[in-house]
Amino acid sequence: MGQAQKYRVDVVELKKIMVEQNLDKIIDLSAASTVDRNTLSKVINEDIKPSTTVIEKLMSALHIQPERAGAIFFSPDLRNT
């Protein structure tokens, strides 16, 4: 499969924060963040990496501090073996 992506979104951590903020449904997070729900779905399903704009909107809507956001949105891609 070639070279794996160096970074990925830590979806487990992202979903945990969504639940903590009572925004666990994509439609609710979409409304709070103004990010299209189809885009959010693709990010959560790891089909796409979020753009800087999407990351900023999610940080704001979910009250994620920059240090924590770095760990979530730029998680090292360590393949399970």
Higher pLDDT, 17 or 2: 17
Cβ atoms of 71 and 13 within 8 Å: the answer is yes
Q: If we measure between CA atoms, which residue out of 17, 16, 15 comes closest to residue 64? A: 17
The whole-number pLDDT of residue 7 equals: 86
Closest by Cα among 10, 5, 8, 7 to 68: 10
Residue 2 pLDDT level (bands cut at 50, 70, 90): very low
Does residue 9 surpass a pLDDT of 70? Answer: yes
pLDDT tens for each residue of 37-51? 999 999 999 999 999
Q: Which pTM value belongs to this model? A: 0.87
Res. 71: pLDDT tops 90 = yes
Set out the domains of the chain in order of their start, with CATH numbers. Answer: 10-74 (1.10.260)
